[in-house]
Structure 1
Amino acid sequence: MTRTIPQLFDLKGKTALITGGSRGLGLQMAHALGEAGARVLVSSRKAEDLENAVAELQAAGIDARWVAADCSKEEDIHRLADESLQRLGDIDILVNNAGAAWGAPAEDHPVEAWDKVMNLNVRSYFILSQVIARRSMIARKSGRIINTASIAGLGGNPSGMNTIAYNTSKGAVINFTRALAAEWGKYGITVNAICPGFFPSKMTVGTLKAMGEDKLAAHAPLRRLGDDEDLKGLTVLYASDAGKHITGQWLAVDGGVSVITGG
């Protein structure tokens, strides 16, 4: 029998791991998955931030826990996978959301800063996806991987926003998503990306200050920045059976900015 919309979006019995999940977009996605019925485990570097995030999630009635890990370090990625699998069993949904940015003109951009951004924003996504797939998804022929990219990965930025490493890394995430989806479709694993536009967050505070919130909002056809709800629907679509025939795709959640910038 064909399932209903509520049944297709239901994540009861599923388990999700969200990196960069203690605040901002990651915490919003954790809320979305938890509200749809999934157990969630959030990870980031700082235990205090994670304790606050899990308290917030639990207050909303979500089964939530945390593991502190620095995804820029390969040994921490493996420890995160070990602890997640030991505590929760199989991981059904992996959200790769940990990220870093660096602002500097390309001619002056430090190479070590380039490496830092690429390591966290791209390399960590590959390593964690590989580990979780090998140990939990491939044998079961089931899994959902959601990668956080950005509209910055679709092209350049306005003058004054010197984030070449960030833009490059997010472009890489989009094609990583496509390539991984093509390889792992045979295992029943879907791989998709979300490309947020401007959302108020710690990572975008410099941009918001430099460009001005009002100016950035005015640049969007919808005349506003993203809010604490705007990633929820797409996250649950990608994670649930409502999106079981969607893979290798990216979608901008940006108020229409990419429409007028040619992304």
Structure 2
Amino acid sequence: MSQEYNVFSLAGKTALVTGASRGLGQAMAIGLAKAGAVVVCSSSREGGCDATRASIAEFDGESYELVADLSQPDQVRAMAEQALGVTGQVDVLVNNGGTIARSPAVDYPFEDWKRVMDVNIDAPFLLSQIIGKHMVQRGQGKIINIASMLSYTGGITVPAYAASKHAIVGLTKALANEWASANVQVNAIAPGYFRTDNTAALQADPERNKEIEKRIPAGRWGEPEQLSGAAVFLASQGSDYINGHVLAVDGGWLAR
């Protein structure tokens, strides 16, 4: 075997990462690029991925940007077709883009419910359907959906988010069942508590921060870059016989 062989190398692969402007999406996009992939970064606004692309450029990685509002199906479909045209194919799809709205269930605005579902489950389905069709035809591909600790629990005042993250796990398994025989692996990552802009309020709350850290066996929050290894693994040949799996990256939170 060649000494240059690396089962985790993504050289020659193209990856589309939604929600790549910051946080976990940014970290995964950079990680995939470091593994050798050409990364198509998606965000909801022009220039949203500038910082991500600048980080990738620092190590001479190759990246592109696409813009789409994930709540708008027509924009999602257009982005999928654009992504397929960047290098001629998409080998890895990371459905990371998401949103959340908080309100007690008795008062939860239906408009918020719809938007959360549009972004968190409808967009991943459309992207997977369009890009997955090409993967099935080629007989090769990786789809990575981003789940959540709320794929296992219900949370409080986030009924739409919890429902959407349960749904993303169901979609992961359903697509894996249909596409595994075509050598397309569909899996999910369930991040635990990571230090991102989305969790800033929790980190700043002394009582909640203490409760969270006490629950995590590792005793600390995760750093975004600590999620990139899981993404590279599920995008690589190293996961060729893994399908329909939800990989928790949580510092042991679920074990507690």
Relative to the length of structure 1, the TM-score reads 0.91
Please name the residue that 2:144 is paired with: 146
How far is the alpha carbon of 1:72 from its aligned partner?
1.2
The question of whether the paired residues in 2 share the 8 Å contact of 1:19 and 1:96 is answered with: yes
Q: Determine the structure 1 residue equivalent to 2:248.
A: 252
Q: Which runs of 5+ in 2 are unaligned?
A: none
Q: CA separation in 2, counterparts of 1:229 and 1:133?
A: 27
1:241 lines up with 2:237 in the alignment: yes
Superposition map of 1:29-108 within 5 A: 29-108=28-107
Which amino acid in the other structure matches residue 30 of structure 1? Answer: A
Query: Which residue of the partner structure matches residue 24 of structure 2?
Result: 25
Give the conservation status (yes or no) of the 8 Å contact 1:5–1:242: no
Deviation at residue 251 of structure 1 after TM alignment: 1.3
Which letter maps to 1:62? Answer: G
Any conservation in 2 of the 1:101–1:203 contact (CA below 8 Å)?
no
Distance 2:225 2:4 in 1: 20
The SS at the match of 2:77 is helix
Residue 224 of structure 1 is matched in structure 2 by 220
Which deviations, in whole Å up to 9, do the C-alpha atoms of 1:166-200 show, x marking residues without a partner? 11111111111011100111221100000001112
Contact kept, 8 Å, 1:208 with 1:216, in 2: the verdict is no
**Paired amino acid for 2:189:** I
1:176 corresponds in structure 2 to: 171
Q: CA deviation at 1:84?
A: 1.4
Report runs of 4+ in structure 1 exceeding 6 Å deviation.
none
- 1:175-226 deviation per Cα after TM superposition (whole angstroms, max 9, x unaligned): 1101110011122110000000111223333444456434322221111111
Contact 1:190 1:247 in 2 (8 A): yes
Residue 50 of structure 1: how far off its partner (Å): 1.3
Counterpart residue identity of residue 186, structure 1: S
77 and 12 in structure 1: CA distance in 2 versus 1, 3 angstrom threshold: same
Partner of 2:113: 114
1:137 has 2:135 as partner: yes
Mapped contact 2:30–2:52 kept (Cα < 8 A) = no
The count of residues paired between Structure 1 and Structure 2 equals: 255
Taking structure 1 as reference, are residues 208 and 112 closer, same or farther at Cα in structure 2, changes over 3 Å only?
farther
Structure 1 counterpart of 2:154: 156
Which residue identity does 1:177 align to in structure 2? T
Aligned CA distance change for structure 1 residues 245 and 12 (closer, same or farther; 3 Å): same
TM-score by length of 2: 0.94
Provide the secondary structure at the position in 2 that maps to 1:21: coil
Q: Which AA in structure 2 matches 1:38?
A: A
Compute the displacement of 1:8 (Å): 0.7
Runs of at least 5 residues in structure 1 that lack an aligned partner in the other structure: none
Q: Structure 1 residue 111: deviation in Å?
A: 1.2
Q: Percent identity?
A: 38
More off after superposition, 138-147 vs 43-52: 43-52
Q: In structure 1, the residue corresponding to 2:197 is in which secondary structure?
A: coil
Aligned to 1:167: 162
Q: Which amino acid aligns with 1:101?
A: I
Alignment-derived partner of residue 197 in structure 2: 202
**Matched residues in 1 for 2:108 and 2:4: separation?**
48
Letter paired with 1:246: I
Per the TM alignment, residue 25 of structure 1 is displaced from its structure 2 partner at its CA by 0.5
1:256 deviation in Å? 1.2
**Post-superposition shift, 1:28?**
0.7
Preserved CA contact (<8 Å) 1:50 1:68 = no
